[in-house]
Structure 1
Amino acid sequence: MSNKIPIIKALKHDRWVKPFLHRYKKTLILAIFLGILTFVCGAGLMFCAGFLISKSATRPENILLVYVPIVLTRAFGIARPAIQYFERIVSHNWVLRMTSKFRQKMYDALEKDAALFNSKYQLGDVLGLLSDDISHIQNLYLRSIFPMFVAWGLYAIIVISLGILSPLMGLWMLVTFGLMIFAIPIWSIVINGARQDYEKAAQDKLYVDLTDNVMGVTDWMLAGRSQEFLQLHVDSREKLLDVHQRMKKFERFRNFLMQMLFLLIVISLIIWGAAKFGGQQSLLTNWIAAFVLAAFPLNEALAGLPTAAQETNVYQKSLVRLNNLPDQKVKEKALSIAAPYNLTIQNIHYTYPHTKKEILRGINLDIHAGEKIAILGKSGAGKSTLAALLRGDRKPTEGQIDLNGIDVTKFGDQMPKYFSVINQKPYLFNTTIANNLRLGNKEASDDQLWDVLDRVGLKKTIEALPEKLETQVEEAGLRFSGGERHRLSLARILLKNTPIVLLDEPTVGLDPITEQAVIETFMKQLNGKTLIWITHHLQGIEKMNQVIFIEDGQIAMQGTPEQLWQNPRYRELKKADQGL
């Protein structure tokens, strides 16, 4: 049976939901107790009201026979909303406390392994995780766990209480209420489970497709296919609507059966009450209405159980995805290494999780401290993937990359102490020049800022601005040209002063003159550091100590620029790159 109820299987090895159940168990128990007490008061109110109405219709022999149920009716009537209000405060306070810690734990997990997470999931998956999964887990408590625990508590009270009065009636309540509390909810999970799985998968796919297509909506429009773009989402929504309607049809039929079962319980109580309290014992006939009316508040507690159980199919997916996040119990060890800093790449293979395409196959490479190495190859050859592996942002499918003998993926947040990156489009934030530069070193003084600006050739340019270092760079740094943005990015790196610098095609989009000037600045200012230059053409390649060409995921050529010049293919590539 547990194989047919995914949430049970997911909870067996869960480290997200169960810890919070244990941590706040006292508040949870109080909330469940108050929930049970709310319905007990509701049933007690109707029980006393039923007795009072029946008894008032006859001539009481003693005013106390009416006075006592009047007092109890008032007591239960006041207690029920008061306890329910208190129960809502306690349960929601518990859930809000739990989800606050829950969100913190999730964000810590994402922050700890953000780049690796990004390599496994697409942006739409991340949106699904952040927007849906937290609310799903919150609803798991409020809509499923609380109602089920409350219903189980009421079930025990009903069966035991009636069982004491009449064992046969207790057994009948065990069966009928059992059908409402266990059988129909499990039936809902089994029947509607596949539909909900499809609905959740389709919704997640909509997130992925929508983010992907919205980012490329300009290309859709320029291609004259904007209507096709809209139709893709219309079709997806229609499929979702169809499965949603089938689910609703089943739910209406299921709810009808629930009400018929409850009607059967009410009729059973009337027949049992008439048999037990009717007949010659006319003084006890007033109890018939009391027992029958007491059942009606219980319907509120039980009616939502099938829906609550059915929704656990959706919660299970969220639970599995959250449990696939890094375990925060494993604390990151403080790693300390000393110069010289050497990188060793041993038999690296990498396959993309989504496409299952192997992009790197058997890469072996040694990068020594202070060495300048260029990694070349056409688009899609695996250069940027290798760069991500070197930084520890991705884990190799096979093989290992070590920094001074330690796997780079183990450095985590400590990697920026040793590794800096200048990528294709360095980003400048919409704040001052000084704030943008201090991303490299938040403690840097103004004198240090002017020094690095001088080193990258921007000091005179910044001095000419009215507000100098306090000048706003505008959104995405649009105030500056491409070459200037690259120089400002280099200034950050110089302030950070890491021993290894990776240039990930930093001159893409620059004109040849600006490109040459930027390259010369990089080479001069980064002299003495380990420099890894990812590029797709050979401009400035003669300044490197080692050059490798990656082709079809493997190293096709390797050596110094002088050694490679002896290779006819390299000479042809060099001439083609120069337009000769």
Structure 2
Amino acid sequence: MKVFKHDTWVKPYIKKYKGLLVSVLLLGLLTSFCAAALMFTSGYTIDKAATQPVNILLIYVPILLTRAFGIGRPTFKYIERLKSHNWVLKVTSNLRTRLYKTLESDASFFNEHHKSGDIMGLLSEDINHLQNLYLRTVFPTVIAYLLTLLGSLALGIYTPAFGIFVFLLLVIEVVVVPFVSVAIERNRKERQKQLKSSLYTKLTDNILGVDDWIISGRFNDFKNLSAKNVKELNSSKDKSKSFRRNRDFVLQLIFAAIAICFLVFTNLTMTDNQEQANFVAAVVLSLFPLSDTLIPVSQGFEEWPQYRDSIERLNKIQPVSDQLPEQIELAPNDFKSLDLNDVNFEYSSDSPILIKHFTQNIKRGEKLALLGPSGIGKTTILQLILGDLVPQSGEIKINDIDIQAIQNSRDKIFSVLNQKPFLFNTSVINNVRLGNENRSDADVIEAIERVGLKDLIESLPDKYNTNVGENGARFSGGEQERIALARILLQDAPIVLLDEPTVGLDPITENNLLDTFFNVLNDKTIIWVTHHLQGIKYVDQVVFMNDEKIEMQGSPKELYQKNTHFQELYKMDQGL
């Protein structure tokens, strides 16, 4: 098929685990065979017993076979499920790892070219679609087709004309109706996919901006923002369910027609004597379990368009080529200065963020504050310093080494603390140890003590083994920042980037936290993005940016003495 012509997400893993795949298909066939054979031997045993055989031994073999097939059917089904899920889990494990590495190879590239909802769709749905492709489409379809072919051949050996006739009826069951299902449901499934993608994007934006919704008091607007899409999506899903019910009813009717044909055929050809007559009901009964194998094919086909879209979307995702220059190992103690020389950067022509001719020279141990209106590009400057973004022109260097040339040792040079530090749902000590996994428990406890959390942690029942909860829910915002700060102390990188870490905190907590930050990081080089002048006394340099240029720069003391605008901002910030 065209979809698989250049595919690298499905075909390679079919080849890689082909032995396990073949065993899954054989077990599926054996399950169907045992189900049919169970009904056949049961029907034959009942018919044979009804003719009052002169010796019970004449039905002993059918009784044993009934017992054997009765045990074999669930056994083979259980093993087939284990094998198929094992196969799928092996494949999807490879796929998830590959997708993560692809996205992780250049996260900023994907954030720049894809909406958050699109990336969430990739992660949450596309891999699951490939998983369902195997479990709900590939395996059932291949088994049903093999069963159709083998069953028709077996009948054809006995009576060619009847074998062809049954084959044509089965083709309607497993080929014609499934393709009609795809044709009917394609547009509806496409619309459902668009609605889901829109919901992902809207819900992501809503959750990230939930504080603004709460502050504005627009509770009903928040709840109703996605209501229309949800209603349309549910309505479309209800129509799909109704269609599936009607389609399955038609499939049952076709299967009933096959059973009637078998009943007529066996009565015409298998009633010459009593021995043959015993097989009539047995043959017809053996058909009914096969409906469980044949009917689900239509459902699998119906879902194929969304699986196809996932395959095509994943095949468009390619790792961003590694264009880093030859890497230079830089020891943390060797860091002397960070220079930004005439840096210019723009996301796109319609982006509001535009950094023009930004120049700074930051010596080891200096503290720099970046201020300016929201959306001016302060956080973007931090991303440029880290090397996540590359300027269109200008240079960013450490010790006269381009920042892109030290990416392999970046975690030894930079620490980052932002307004939403992520805490994992594990113990306090494990969360802090993420800063440096080679440090001892004593080092971790010392870091926790330095950030002012020792008394609080030791007052808890489980002390340092206290679980922080999902995303740090066990602790307040200020306490979460202190735990993240302890990580930074353990990491012990010479440059610390603070991206508005105190935003949203009350003034007292913010002031105490800033005291702690600049006290414990006294020997570090700090670049601090902030939105107001609280704690500005701790820094050596203040850089105030606007949408055109650096509006003012200097030490807080100099600016307060000489710059009228700074004086006004400071008084306003202090409520004077």
TM-score (norm 2): 0.72
Once the 2 structures are TM-superposed, how far is the Cα of residue 103 of structure 1 from its aligned partner? Answer: 5.4
SS at match of 2:347: strand
Match of 1:6 in 2: none
Provide closer, same or farther for how the CA distance between residues 319 and 492 of structure 1 changes in structure 2, counting only shifts above 3 A.
Answer: same
Of the candidates 303, 309, 313, which is equivalent to residue 295 of structure 2? 303
Of the candidates 71, 80, 83, which is equivalent to residue 87 of structure 1? 80
1:382 is matched by which residue type in structure 2? G
| Aligned residues of 2:443 and 2:490 also touching (Cα < 8 A) | no
1:348 is matched by which residue type in structure 2? F
Provide closer, same or farther for how the CA distance between residues 257 and 374 of structure 1 changes in structure 2, counting only shifts above 3 A.
Answer: same
1:158 is matched by which residue type in structure 2? G
- CA distance in 2: counterparts of 1:301 and 1:381, whole angstroms: 61
Provide closer, same or farther for how the CA distance between residues 241 and 523 of structure 1 changes in structure 2, counting only shifts above 3 A.
Answer: closer
Match of 1:42 in 2: 35
Q: C-alpha deviations, 1:298-348, integer Å up to 9, x for none?
A: 211011111122233444455566667776999x99944335675668653
- CA distance in 2: counterparts of 1:86 and 1:516, whole angstroms: 61
Match of 1:380 in 2: 375
Once the 2 structures are TM-superposed, how far is the Cα of residue 167 of structure 1 from its aligned partner? Answer: 3.2
| Aligned residues of 2:325 and 2:404 also touching (Cα < 8 A) | no
Match of 1:269 in 2: 262
Provide closer, same or farther for how the CA distance between residues 243 and 369 of structure 1 changes in structure 2, counting only shifts above 3 A.
Answer: same
Of the candidates 15, 20, 34, which is equivalent to residue 27 of structure 1? 20
Q: What fraction of aligned residue pairs are identical, expressed as a percent? A: 35
| Aligned residues of 2:34 and 2:72 also touching (Cα < 8 A) | yes
Provide closer, same or farther for how the CA distance between residues 314 and 285 of structure 1 changes in structure 2, counting only shifts above 3 A.
Answer: same
| Aligned residues of 1:375 and 1:550 also touching (Cα < 8 A) | no
- CA distance in 2: counterparts of 1:315 and 1:117, whole angstroms: 22
| Aligned residues of 1:124 and 1:209 also touching (Cα < 8 A) | yes
Match of 2:347 in 1: 350
SS at match of 1:420: strand
Once the 2 structures are TM-superposed, how far is the Cα of residue 191 of structure 1 from its aligned partner? Answer: 1.6
Provide closer, same or farther for how the CA distance between residues 577 and 24 of structure 1 changes in structure 2, counting only shifts above 3 A.
Answer: same
Match of 2:566 in 1: 574
- CA distance in 1: counterparts of 2:219 and 2:327, whole angstroms: 52
- CA distance in 1: counterparts of 2:406 and 2:180, whole angstroms: 47
Within a 5 Å distance, the mapping from 1:229-240 to structure 2 comes to: 229-232=222-225, 234-240=227-233
Moved more, 106-115 or 35-44: 106-115
Match of 1:247 in 2: 240
- CA distance in 2: counterparts of 1:452 and 1:206, whole angstroms: 41
- Structure 1: tracts of 5 or more residues without a match: 4-8
Once the 2 structures are TM-superposed, how far is the Cα of residue 192 of structure 1 from its aligned partner? Answer: 1.3
Of the candidates 412, 416, 422, which is equivalent to residue 421 of structure 1? 416
Once the 2 structures are TM-superposed, how far is the Cα of residue 13 of structure 1 from its aligned partner? Answer: 4.9
Provide closer, same or farther for how the CA distance between residues 415 and 187 of structure 1 changes in structure 2, counting only shifts above 3 A.
Answer: farther
Provide the alpha-carbon RMSD of the alignment: 5.5
1:301 is matched by which residue type in structure 2? T
Do structure 1's residue 549 and structure 2's residue 555 form an aligned pair?
A: no
Of the candidates 177, 181, 188, which is equivalent to residue 188 of structure 1? 181
Once the 2 structures are TM-superposed, how far is the Cα of residue 177 of structure 1 from its aligned partner? Answer: 1.4
1:310 is matched by which residue type in structure 2? E
Do structure 1's residue 390 and structure 2's residue 385 form an aligned pair?
A: yes
Q: How many residues are treated as equivalent by the alignment? A: 550
SS at match of 2:150: helix
Provide closer, same or farther for how the CA distance between residues 43 and 259 of structure 1 changes in structure 2, counting only shifts above 3 A.
Answer: same
- CA distance in 2: counterparts of 1:310 and 1:211, whole angstroms: 29
Provide closer, same or farther for how the CA distance between residues 190 and 524 of structure 1 changes in structure 2, counting only shifts above 3 A.
Answer: same
TM-score (norm 1): 0.72
- CA distance in 1: counterparts of 2:457 and 2:278, whole angstroms: 93
- CA distance in 1: counterparts of 2:126 and 2:58, whole angstroms: 55
Provide closer, same or farther for how the CA distance between residues 225 and 398 of structure 1 changes in structure 2, counting only shifts above 3 A.
Answer: same
Q: C-alpha deviations, 1:100-130, integer Å up to 9, x for none?
A: 5655666666666667666666676676666
Provide closer, same or farther for how the CA distance between residues 416 and 321 of structure 1 changes in structure 2, counting only shifts above 3 A.
Answer: farther
- CA distance in 2: counterparts of 1:434 and 1:273, whole angstroms: 75
SS at match of 1:411: helix
Once the 2 structures are TM-superposed, how far is the Cα of residue 270 of structure 1 from its aligned partner? Answer: 3.9
- CA distance in 2: counterparts of 1:18 and 1:259, whole angstroms: 34
Provide closer, same or farther for how the CA distance between residues 448 and 216 of structure 1 changes in structure 2, counting only shifts above 3 A.
Answer: closer
Once the 2 structures are TM-superposed, how far is the Cα of residue 36 of structure 1 from its aligned partner? Answer: 0.3
Provide closer, same or farther for how the CA distance between residues 369 and 205 of structure 1 changes in structure 2, counting only shifts above 3 A.
Answer: same
- CA distance in 2: counterparts of 1:242 and 1:143, whole angstroms: 24
Moved more, 39-48 or 214-223: 214-223
- CA distance in 2: counterparts of 1:195 and 1:390, whole angstroms: 47
